[in-house]
Amino acid sequence: MTSTDLSTDAAVSTSAASVFIPAPVTPYQGDIARYWDGEARPVNLRLGDVDGLYHHHYGIGAVDRTALGDADDSAYEKRLIAELHRLESAQAELLLDHLGPVERDAMLVDAGCGRGGSMVMAHQRFRCQVEGVTLSAKQADFANQRAHELGIEDHVHARVCNMLGTPFETGQIAASWNNESSMYVDLHDLFAEHSRILEVGGRYVTITGCWNPRYGQPSKWVSQINAHFECNIHSRREYLRAMADNRLVPQAVIDLTAATLPYWELRATSSLVTGIEEAFIASYKDGSFQYLLIAADRV
């Protein structure tokens, strides 16, 4: 699938139709909501401006040096931004690949949906209903505004709620995912909720950074990433144990560490650096941090 020419004015809606905002269940949940309500990094917004797909995850795959062209060219930075965005969309495509076959009458859930880029891509591919949940009212409003601009608001919708307690019925969902959002919650609670809402045989997929138990403990680089994003990165072992405890049986565990390094090394040369690039590159190279895709079936 290619996602082209989706760009429109993606200003956040301030109309009366804005999303309902429940009170935070815990102080930490309130902290995370405030963090993402206030987040407006150019690295997320300018990349999304390329084609109207606004992501909050990282990229995978080889950099197309031909597309970048000469670094001294006046248009180089624009091409670099487009290439970073292409790699981020490639990551989302890989996640969607692992959802398996999805029927048009199915419902999917993006847990921690951000500004909705992956939801739009899922609907474009499967033509089904896609529901997103996020703690950030601004992100949900942005995602719903984009869905309206694209004319898919009847099929793509974001709401503000805790992913540990969603409004979906037991067994209602055909497939669900977390794309770099599971580090904000307890994994046993998270997978218990996914297990509840998924139909038997339903598919769950996560792409996430996790610290490597073989390193011993989280490295200083992992600690820097935690502090930067106000999150709590889990270990690979914790993911697999929590899935097993909640009737989610892994069908694929793919190490994407080598595949994401080119994205980070390219991003570190751009004008969009945030200061966290060194921690990602160093931790991936020293083996203390891994980038994984896990696809599991509900049994």
pLDDT over threshold 70, residue 144: yes
- Residue 229, pLDDT > 70, answer yes
Residue range(s) defining the domain that contains residue 88: 28-298
For residue 103, name the pLDDT band (cuts at 50, 70, 90). Answer: very high
Average pLDDT over the chain, rounded to whole? Answer: 92
pLDDT at 41: 76
55 is a domain residue: yes
Cβ-in-10-Å burial (0-12, 13-18, 19+) of 167 comes to exposed
Residue 170, classified by CB atoms within 10 Å of its CB into exposed (0-12), middle (13-18) or buried (19+), is exposed
Instruction: Report the amino acid identity of residue 203.
Output: R
Could you tell me if residue 19 is inside a domain?
Answer: no
Tell me how many domains the chain contains: 1
Q: Strand 107-111 to strand 173-179: parallel, antiparallel, or no bridges (unpaired)? A: parallel
Is residue 106 in some structural domain?
A: yes
pTM of the model: 0.91
For tokens 């969309």, name the residue: 89
**Cβ distance 165 to 191 under 8 Å?**
no
Q: Which of 199, 299, 185 lies closest to 244 in space, CA to CA? A: 299
pLDDT of residue 21: 66
- Predicted pLDDT at 22: 66
Q: What is the pLDDT of residues 173-201, one digit of tens each?
A: 999 999 999 999 999 999 999 999 999 99
pLDDT of res. 40: 75
Q: Please check whether residue 6 lies inside any domain of the structure.
A: no
Which domain CATH number covers 217?
3.40.50.150
Per-residue pLDDT at 101: 97
* CB distance 180 to 207 below 8 Å: yes
**Whether the predicted pLDDT of 251 surpasses 50:** yes
pLDDT of residue 23: 61
Confidence band for 280, pLDDT divided at 50, 70 and 90: very high
Whether residue 16 lies inside any domain: the answer is no
- Other Cβ atoms less than 10 A from the Cβ of 229: the count is 18
pLDDT digits over 3-42, tens only? 333 433 434 343 434 556 666 668 888 999 998 998 877 7
Instruction: Determine, yes or no, domain membership for 2.
Output: no
Whether residue 18 lies inside any domain: the answer is no
More confident residue, 25 or 218: 218
Is the predicted pLDDT of residue 98 greater than 80, yes or no?
A: yes
Whole-number pLDDT of residue 38? 87
Minimal CA–CA distance to 29: which of 119, 137, 108?
137
What is d(CA 116, CA 47) in angstroms, rounded to the nearest whole number? 14
Question: How much of the chain, in percent, has pLDDT values that exceed 70?
Answer: 92
Q: Residues 147-164: what's their mean pLDDT? A: 97
* Structural Rg of the chain based on CA atoms: 18
What pLDDT sits at residue 24? 64
Residue 255 in domain:
yes
Task: Please report the pLDDT score of residue 15 as a whole number.
Answer: 40
pLDDT at site 238: 98
Hey, what are 143's tokens? 């995602």
pLDDT digits (tens, 9 = 90+) for 65-77: 999 999 999 999 9
